Amino acid sequence: MTDPGSNEPGTGDSDPMSQGEPVRCRSIVKIQLDEKSFLRRRPEVEHEREVALFDLVEENVFILKGESPAAGPYHLKLSLVEDRLIFDVRDTADAPCREIVLTVRPFRMIIKDYFMVCESYFDAIKAATPSHIEAIDMGRRGLHNEGAQMLKERMAEHVELDQGTSRRFFTLLCVLHMRG
């Protein structure tokens, strides 16, 4: 389960924050996954979780919207509780800023498809031809982009994200979704 392009900053033309230039922002300075929300998985998944967490802290765009939004920087705790993804946003003194709750139900099919393609990819890299691996990887990236876009759209009411931040959150959603 790889976040293809996770090291790329959000530079999309439709991203009003970037205006064609890479966004270099660190609104989130600390992120934690609720340990009760997930189980440890195989090394590839653990690696992707660690990369997504590291990349999120290194570079992200996470701007709270609404009445009197705290300006950041933020500490963030992600958890999955009863089919809801919870973003517990706090300031650096650990005082609550906002809790954003998203239902995971709309993501189920794309996560399922993404997991299936990732399994095919991991199997293919052991024995398939480079062109076959590349074809599977293109499908994997496409599903990852679709999930990230869906997440970005569902978060739009609460927080402004760039594409890179949204992609990393989708990776973490997938990891949290692997609950056995």
Amino acid at 72: G
- For residue 80, give the nearest of 172, 2, 166, 167 by alpha carbon: 172
Local structure of 100: helix, strand or coil = strand
pLDDT (tens digit per residue) in 158-168: 999 999 999 99
Q: Quick check: is 108 in a domain?
A: yes
Q: Which residues contact 25 (CB under 8 A, 6 or more apart)?
A: 59, 60, 61, 162
Q: Which residues contact 149 (CB under 8 A, 6 or more apart)?
A: 163, 166
Burial class (CB in 10 A: 0-12, 13-18, 19+), 136: buried
Would you state the pLDDT for residue 130? Answer: 95
Q: Quick check: is 140 in a domain?
A: yes
Q: Quick check: is 7 in a domain?
A: no
- The model carries a pTM of 0.81
Q: Which residue has the tokens 């009411």?
A: 157
Q: pLDDT tens digits, the chain, 180 residues: what are they?
A: 555 544 333 333 344 444 444 445 679 999 998 877 656 667 777 788 889 899 999 999 999 998 777 788 999 999 988 889 999 999 999 999 999 999 999 999 999 999 999 889 989 999 999 999 999 999 999 999 999 999 999 999 999 999 999 999 999 998 877 754
Please give the mean pLDDT across all residues of the chain. Answer: 83
Would you state the pLDDT for residue 102? Answer: 96
Number of structural domains found in the chain: 1
pLDDT (tens digit per residue) in 111-120: 999 999 988 9
Q: Quick check: is 57 in a domain?
A: yes
Domain, as residue range, for 49: 28-177
Q: Quick check: is 6 in a domain?
A: no
d(CA 140, CA 17): 27
Q: Quick check: is 19 in a domain?
A: no
Q: Quick check: is 14 in a domain?
A: no
Q: Quick check: is 132 in a domain?
A: yes
Would you state the pLDDT for residue 3? Answer: 52
